[in-house]
Chain A
């Protein structure tokens, strides 16, 4: 993140402005990715009018960056009306799609509306691997064709590649494909539980050994020695917030449910029952999330990784305690540095049975 954007984020945080919003327009999808954290049914999506009202409210609240996602957002017949409305309200618009429904007319609209970025997940440069993950034969070819089409229309495209056991060995191939198409790529080894708490999909996570291998790849992390170092913990770190969830970022489901983040399923309100402003300002859950500083975390605040850890409060919440550690991030810290995190160290007897002794004199 650039210094100016960081400064804008810091000011937005101080002013409690929801600078960035992730809005899922639908959970319906035309792919069936093995690691997806959503169901794919329609439980009563927001109508176009409800979405329009929400966009008006978000613009009023100061939101600048709006991500439209899903599910596959282009499955909604009113997707382009919503995108157009969003741009008329001067949001910086990002769209997450698998590209299967993007042809020349859709690419032209995304260009004409000034969409800032279209993001697509590409799991592998090999069809048998990518299509095996999406469970749709031909999906790699169609997504890659959409990327090339969007690029031809001058639309900014980025590739996201979640790393799983199935595609771990293929990220160099994806990066080469991305370079050939002139698009950026982000590699991410994070696989989260389903939004309903089902952890069965975590079996797709890469092994600790593979995680270590990723963190030793200088083409990904830069200076490996620097990346692997434990950084010191000071008072500024302990007074900092874990992440932007609930501070300048928020997630809204296709049904109007508001959560601090996509992977932080703490219900904070619903825009069908309350105004956006009342949820954002008054929700006790959001206020609680906002109140948590790193120093308040009983285990993580005294962990050697406190300053360098990517601890996700949402994953901690899904493990049962938003003040606790996130085991996935403990594993990342261990793989990155080789140092066992506090949460995984055995309790010492002195912690179990404590004796206080004071010499009071005679």
Chain B
């Protein structure tokens, strides 16, 4: 599974916890350190399993199966709120504000 962060949300790291606001629903989410690490690593092009192995298992004391189960549930929950986008193929065509900052001016 490939996962990308929605470009529609606002997010800021507060110490080691990611604070996320969804403008569409005005909902606020706060991720713990592990959730924040996953969030920061999501790039749409790396399989979730690779991110869990490289970013979670390598940094936190947890085995792969357990971490993968938690990560999948985490992704599913945030995807239901439109915070994350999932696909079976690499996500490359999301309209990205990060890559388009020059267009409006």
Contacts and interface: CB of A to CB of B under 8 A. Distances in A.
Nearest to B103: A84
A64 B21 contact: yes
> Of A2, A83, A87, A92, which is in contact with the most chain B CB atoms at under 10 Å from its CB?
A92
Contact of A90 (B10, B14, B28, B105): B10
Nearest to B25: A156
Interface in A12-45: 12, 15, 17
Contact of A12 (B14, B26, B100, B103): B14
Main secondary structure of the interface of B (DSSP, over half): loop
A59 B23 CA distance: 18
B67 interface: no
B28 A4 contact: yes
Given A8-B28, A11-B15, A62-B14, A114 B7 contact: yes
Contacts of B101: 84-85, 88
B28 A156 contact: no
Interface residues of A, number: 34
Contacts of A12: 14
B11 interface: yes
A64 B10 contact: yes
Contacts of A117: 23
Interface string B70-105: 000000000000000000000000000110110111
B47 to A, nearest CB: 24
Contacts, number: 74
B23 A62 contact: no
Nearest to B105: A81
Interface string B10-42: 111111000101011010101000000000000
Interface residues of B, number: 23
A352 interface: no
B57 interface: no
B23 A116 contact: yes
Nearest to B98: A88
Nearest to A15: B15
A80 B105 CA distance: 7
B100 A84 contact: yes
Given A4-B28, A116-B23, A84 B97 contact: yes
Contacts of B21: 64-65, 92, 116
A92 B14 contact: no
A8 B14 contact: yes
A80 B104 contact: yes
Interface in A68-103: 78, 80-81, 83-85, 87-88, 90-93
Given A8-B14, A114-B8, A156 B23 contact: yes
B3 to A, nearest CB: 17
Contacts of B104: 80-81, 83-85, 109
23 contacts: A5-B28, A7-B30, A8-B19, A8-B30, A64-B11, A64-B19, A80-B104, A84-B100, A84-B101, A85-B101, A88-B97, A88-B98, A88-B101, A90-B12, A92-B21, A93-B23, A114-B7, A114-B10, A114-B97, A116-B10, A116-B21, A116-B23, A117-B23
> Which 4 A-B residue pairings sit nearest by Cβ, starting from the closest?
A81-B105, A92-B10, A116-B23, A88-B97
Given A8-B19, A92-B10, 11 more contacts: A8-B30, A15-B14, A62-B13, A64-B11, A64-B12, A81-B105, A84-B100, A92-B23, A93-B10, A109-B104, A116-B26
